[in-house]
Structure 1
Amino acid sequence: MLNNLIIFVLAAFVGTEVLTKVPQTLHTPLMSGANAISGITVVGALVAAGMTTDPWSTWIGFGALVVATINVVGGFLVTDRMLKMFGKEEASPASVGAPQTNGTAE
């Protein structure tokens, strides 16, 4: 139990240090990688929930599955929003029917 706690604390510390030093241009690829890791967590939760015969362990595995799924879906939604910020802007409805001018007064 103590070994698991030490590993958890070290992982939290290293993760915090790494994430605070990531440049802003790399946040989108980092989010995609985190979503992939969360997908692995979903598979692990399915395996953990299915391999036990104890009802409490099954419910804990189901809870882990729900939380990991929420994390994956939320991560993909945030990543999609971030990628849309880099895409082309759509024309506003007011400018669709407006005549094209070269910027000079007539």
Structure 2
Amino acid sequence: MESLPWEFCFEVKFYPTAPSSLNDDHARYNLFLQLKNDVCTGRLPATIETHATLGSLVAQAEFGDAKPTAEYEQYLRTTKFAPQQSDQLIEMIAQKHKEHK
């Protein structure tokens, strides 16, 4: 048992109606991580359009402005944005990501 890795999970029981009401940056970031995980695993169901929009916002937050590079393409292909990832979803995310500045 001692050699097994520890796993820590931060979860909220209820999502706040206004995430901006969370004053602590770490609490907001942990809420983001939980929401991202819940959407990506299907715990919170979403349409492909919603997955694309959320995926484009995650890509903007984590990667910055969309840049057509091999690294960017690799990022889109290897990052989990939805329970059922497809080429169509990746293309939708890339297209929506270009619209963010």
Larger Rg belongs to: 1
Q: Highest relative contact order (Cα 8 Å, sep 6+), 1 or 2?
A: 2
Which protein has the bigger helix share?
1
Please give the TM-score of this superposition, normalised by the length of structure 1. 0.31
